[in-house]
Each structure stands twice: as C-alpha cells, then as structure tokens.
Amino acid sequence: NAGVTQTPKFQVLKTGQSMTLQCAQDMNHEYMSWYRQDPGMGLRLIHYSVGAGITDQGEVPNGYNVSRSTTEDFPLRLLSAAPSQTSVYFCASSPVTGFGGYTFGSGTRLTVV
Amino acid sequence: DAKTTQPPSMDCAEGRAANLPCNHSTISGNEYVYWYRQIHSQGPQYIIHGLKNNETNEMASLIITEDRKSSTLILPHATLRDTAVYYCIVFNAGNNRKLIWGLGTSLAVNP
C-alpha cells in the first residue's frame, strides 16, 4: 500500500507559468482534498472532492483548478503561477463516511519566482 | 465550526509522559475531537480521535472531559521521534468532512 503519493516533491516555477501537482491514492478513498501550508499559518483547504466527478471549493481556491475523473487521482492545477502561491502543498484522502482519519501525502514544495 | 485553543509550545523529557491540552469550549454534540501531528514539515499524521469516551491506541491516549469542553492527548513514554507539531481539531462529518486547522502545539522532547 503506497497510501497517498504526491509528485513532484519540489518545483520551481516562473511567474505566469502553469503546472499540475499530482496526487494519487490506492486506498479506494472517496474523499480527497488539497491544502496549502504557509509559515505561521495552519493548513488551509484549497479544493476538495467527495467522489469521482464531484469537486468543490475550500477556503482559498483562487488561482487553482481541480478535477476528479477517477477515484484514485486528484490533480491540482495552477493556472498562472504567482509568488503568493509559493507554499507547501499537501494532498489528503479519507473514506467519505465514518470517522477514520485523513491520510496525507508527503507534500510538494513549490517556489514561484 | 468549533475552534480549538492549544498552547504554542511545550517541552517534555524523553521517557516521560507528554500531556498536550486542548480547549474546545464551543464543541457541538455531534462533533469529534481529532489529533494529528506533523513531524518536521512532513505530511500530517493521524493519531487518534474521540467523541466523549476516553480512547487509547498504540500511539496515544485521548482524555475528554465530561463536559467535552477540553481534552488531553497523552503520549505515555515520549521519545525524541515524538518531537513534532500536534494539532487538535474539532471535526464535523456533516460539514463535507472539512478539517479546520489551527497552529497546534510544538512539542520538543529533550534527551
């Protein structure tokens, strides 16, 4: 069981570039989500999905897009990178029912210059 | 969403019990208390959760007061590898399973 796998682990982008952060899980979890973590702040929810074909916005969705075509994958797209999007990004998954904890990936460190 | 209050930092000697407090005075009857930890910028790791009864697993114990307004996470024999930021979160499964994260408690386990 790999759990939640995020790629890449590190990325440097220039302002205005676009890219996709990948997230895949092999636990058949319906719920998946993306967070960003900045120094001095708690994790903030960007987007989440309760199943294939269903996505919704979190607290800080601007500048990001998501899609959920399969149960396993939940990619996060940066449309036009800005320095304010420099952050550590975490993907998490859980069953959509019940009270099991979230499983997090190891994170992607993104720097936008 | 119920908010939590935790001390920003704590110290503990290796081998001793670490008791991490959390205040959640506005918690609702159907909301659970969850604890996660984050070791040196790795992804957060689920530790334990509870509703109103005390809970124990292989990692820790969770003590919830009878009025449910506060709880304590207990690491019975802290090791250096337990040095991490510990987050107490009130979770409402009906709120689209959203977790509201605070800043947590930075626990330093000292040799």
Q: DSSP labels for A8-42?
A: -SEEEE-TT--EEEEEEESS--SEEEEEEE-TTS-
DSSP symbols for A72-103: SB--EEESS--GGG-EEEEEEEE-SSS-PPPE
Of A7, A102, A110, which to mutate for an interface test with B (greatest number of B Cβ within 10 Å)?
A102
Write the Ramachandran bin of B104: left for phi over 0, alpha for psi from -120 to 50, otherwise beta: left
* Residue appearing with tokens 């292989």: B58
Q: Which residue has the tokens 């992804």?
A: B43
Q: Do A99 and B91 touch (CB under 8 A)?
A: yes
- Tell me if chain B has a CB within 8 Å of the CB of A41: yes
Are the beta carbons of B44 and A31 separated by less than 8 Å? no
Decide if A102 touches B, using CB distance below 8 A: yes
pLDDT digits 0-9 by tens, B44-53: 999 999 999 8
Contact B42 A43 (CB under 8 A): no
The per-residue pLDDT for range A40-80, each reduced to its tens digit, is: 888 999 999 999 999 999 999 999 999 999 999 999 999 99
